[in-house]
């Protein structure tokens, strides 16, 4: 009998371990871990109102001041990253990514000071990177000892960002890029193919570091970003992501790819939604974004209506029926020496085009490894702050009009396609929620000082008033069969892009002829 009791106790212990480590337990609620159930999702109004968020895509790879895929490419002989690593740090058999992590100290990082700048610059939500493909968690991870509390800056980066966001009343989000890590980091298990150290294993081959670099799986695909089919990895991903959700309770959760690993990923999304509803009296206030790469076998699943679609460095051609988001950066994703940075006008052009088509813009602001900002980021924030102070009314809380805009510049839909040369002849529209006010963004100051809005010809209905945001004086304007013509004042109210505020009863867009 005693042996039976011991066996029962042992089985109970094993079952308890299994429930914690293999069961996809999720919070109770209406969402179940399948696509049909997740289609109940409705994007919350706070996200649709916010329009513009700022992202800290920042972690140990910043310490290399080189590029976004350093932790992988440093183990690929012949790449620029490999050459840079050998020159500055040594051969990856002796000095690997594990040795880069202590170099990221974040010694000048002041999250509250930065958050004040970000809110002044127009951000209405904030997102912290939580874990990149480098498999290093930026919170006090319950399931992973390679994290920022134990190593590197020895600070809970995610929680400190969250406290700062809360102080400035900004919804807070996290981004995860972990799903790819299992395949992405396999390069660390290789060795040089040529040269004096050919065949000498890189440090990832040492079992001592397996938790960071993952177990070796020979013959995996050579692609940079694909999801592993290893069920053990799927389970680890779920446990770490559920831990992140439970500890942080984010308003926003970003996956860098499609929903990972089938039911595993659906379980995480359902857990996010249900636990969020429990905290908001039955209302769903969470946003989950992921990408549609149309490669479900290797890049995860996207099911329209289950979440918000994210386009990395991408745009939409027309007004999307559901809210969506672009994520981009003002430079590379991490600080890189001698980088090229986007200008203020480029960011504002992109923003107004996106919001005219039912989207949001999430902008990474490049940080130095120490946590402070380079001058290019500071100049951008200053320019955005000045612009939003004048034009925020036409951005926040608005919705798309009947058409997104008019003008010669045509935008294509898709990922990784965001560079367009907008002109003063390009116009983008938003409207107030009640439809009483129409805003027309003019994407440049016309040389002759006159704006012609063809969509608002007389057939659109009677315009009853036109003002220019930031300008106190009256404007001369006339509505004809060819359009609404507005004479701008001698002085610009701001730089870059200008917003006309237009009143009229039930205005309808007149189809614009091809230009």
Q: How far is CA 400 from CA 64, 228, 355, in A?
A: 42, 39, 7
Question: What is the predicted pLDDT for the residue at 136?
Answer: 98
Q: How many angstroms separate the CA atoms of 489 and 497, rounded?
A: 14
Q: Give the number of other CB atoms < 10 A from CB of residue 194.
A: 9
Report residue 353 as tokens: 């085009």
Greatest alpha-carbon pair distance for the chain in Å reads 97
Is residue 175's pLDDT more than 80? yes
End-to-end CA distance of the chain: 89
Confidence of residue 217 (pLDDT cuts 50, 70, 90): confident
Q: How many angstroms separate the CA atoms of 127 and 363, rounded?
A: 9
Residue 494, CA atoms < 13 Å, CB-side half-sphere: 27
In this prediction the pTM is: 0.94
CA proximity to 82, closest of 228, 195, 215: 195
Where do we find the tokens 């493909």?
133
Question: What is the predicted pLDDT for the residue at 55?
Answer: 98
Residue 75, CA atoms < 13 Å, CB-side half-sphere: 28
Residue 480 burial (C-beta neighbours within 10 Å; 0-12, 13-18, 19+): exposed
Whether 79 and 73 have beta carbons less than 8 Å apart is answered as: yes
Q: What is the mean pLDDT of residues 436-447?
A: 97
CA proximity to 365, closest of 375, 355, 353: 375
| Residue percentage of the chain with pLDDT more than 70 | 94
The structural architecture, per CATH, of the domain 35-58+103-180+219-307 is: Alpha-Beta Barrel (3.20)
The structural architecture, per CATH, of the domain 405-504 is: Sandwich (2.60)
Is residue 515's pLDDT more than 80? no
Q: Where are the beta strands (DSSP E) in 18-124?
A: 52-56
Contacts of 228 (CB under 8 A, 6+ apart): 182, 183, 217, 220, 234
Confidence of residue 4 (pLDDT cuts 50, 70, 90): very low
Q: How far is CA 188 from CA 214, 265, 297, in A?
A: 9, 26, 24
pLDDT tens-digit profile of 328-340?
A: 999 999 999 999 9
Is residue 312's pLDDT more than 80? yes
Q: How many angstroms separate the CA atoms of 359 and 48, rounded?
A: 8
Is residue 346's pLDDT more than 50? yes
Report residue 213 as tokens: 């670099």
Domain locations in the chain as residue ranges:
35-58+103-180+219-307, 405-504
With left for phi above 0 and alpha for psi between -120 and 50, is residue 84 left, alpha or beta?
alpha
pLDDT tens-digit profile of 197-216?
A: 999 999 999 999 999 999 98
Q: How many angstroms separate the CA atoms of 66 and 86, rounded?
A: 13
Q: How many angstroms separate the CA atoms of 215 and 51, rounded?
A: 42
Q: What is the mean pLDDT of residues 84-93?
A: 97
Confidence of residue 24 (pLDDT cuts 50, 70, 90): confident
């Amino acid at each position: 009998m005693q042996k039976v009791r011991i066996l029962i106790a042992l089985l109970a212990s094993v079952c308890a371990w299994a429930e914690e480590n293999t069961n996809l337990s999720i919070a109770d609620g209406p969402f179940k871990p399948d696509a049909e159930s997740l289609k109940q999702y409705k994007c919350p109004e706070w996200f649709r109102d916010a329009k513009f968020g700022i992202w800290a895509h920042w972690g140990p790879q910043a310490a290399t001041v080189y590029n976004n895929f350093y932790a992988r490419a440093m183990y690929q002989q012949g790449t620029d990253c490999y050459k840079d690593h050998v020159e500055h740090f040594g051969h990856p058999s002796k000095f690997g990514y594990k040795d880069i992590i202590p170099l990221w100290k974040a010694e000048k990082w002041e999250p509250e000071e930065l958050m004040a700048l970000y809110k002044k610059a127009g951000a209405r939500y904030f997102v912290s990177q939580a874990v990149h493909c480098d498999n290093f968690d930026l919170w006090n991870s319950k399931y992973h000892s390679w994290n920022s509390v134990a190593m590197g800056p020895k600070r809970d980066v995610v929680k400190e960002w969250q406290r700062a966001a809360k102080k400035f009343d900004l919804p807070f989000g996290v981004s995860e890029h972990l799903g790819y890590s299992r395949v992405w980091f396999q390069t660390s298990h290789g060795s040089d193919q040529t040269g004096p150290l050919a065949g000498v294993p890189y440090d990832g081959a040492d079992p001592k570091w397996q938790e960071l670099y993952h177990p070796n799986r020979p013959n995996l695909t050579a692609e940079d970003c694909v999801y592993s089919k290893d069920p053990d990895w799927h389970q680890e991903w779920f446990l770490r992501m559920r831990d992140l959700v439970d500890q942080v309770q984010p308003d926003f959760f970003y996956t860098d790819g499609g929903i990972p690993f089938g039911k595993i990923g659906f379980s995480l999304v359902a857990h996010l939604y249900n636990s969020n509803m429990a905290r908001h009296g039955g209302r769903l206030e969470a946003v989950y974004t992921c990408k549609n790469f149309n490669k479900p076998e290797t890049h995860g699943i996207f099911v329209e209506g289950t979440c918000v679609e994210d386009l990395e460095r991408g745009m939409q051609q027309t007004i999307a029926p559901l809210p969506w988001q672009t994520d981009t950066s003002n430079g590379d994703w991490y600080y890189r020496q001698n980088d090229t940075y986007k200008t203020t006008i480029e960011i504002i052009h992109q923003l107004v085009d996106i919001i005219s088509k039912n989207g949001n813009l999430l902008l990474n602001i490049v940080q130095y490894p120490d946590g402070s900002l380079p001058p290019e980021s500071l100049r951008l924030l200053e320019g955005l702050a000045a612009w939003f102070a004048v034009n925020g009314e036409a951005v926040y809380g608005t919705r798309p009009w009947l058409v997104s805009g008019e003008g010669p510049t045509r935008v294509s839909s898709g990922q990784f396609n965001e560079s367009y040369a907008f002109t003063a002849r390009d116009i983008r529209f938003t409207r107030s929620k009640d439809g009483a006010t129409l805003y027309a963004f003019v994407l440049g100051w016309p040389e002759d000082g006159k704006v012609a809005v063809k969509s608002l010809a007389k057939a659109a209905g009677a315009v009853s008033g036109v003002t220019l945001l930031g300008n106190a004086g009256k404007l001369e304007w006339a509505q004809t069969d060819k359009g609404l013509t507005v004479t701008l004042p001698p002085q610009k109210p701001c730089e870059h892009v200008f917003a006309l505020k237009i009143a009229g009863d039930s205005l309808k867009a007149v189809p614009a002829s091809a230009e």
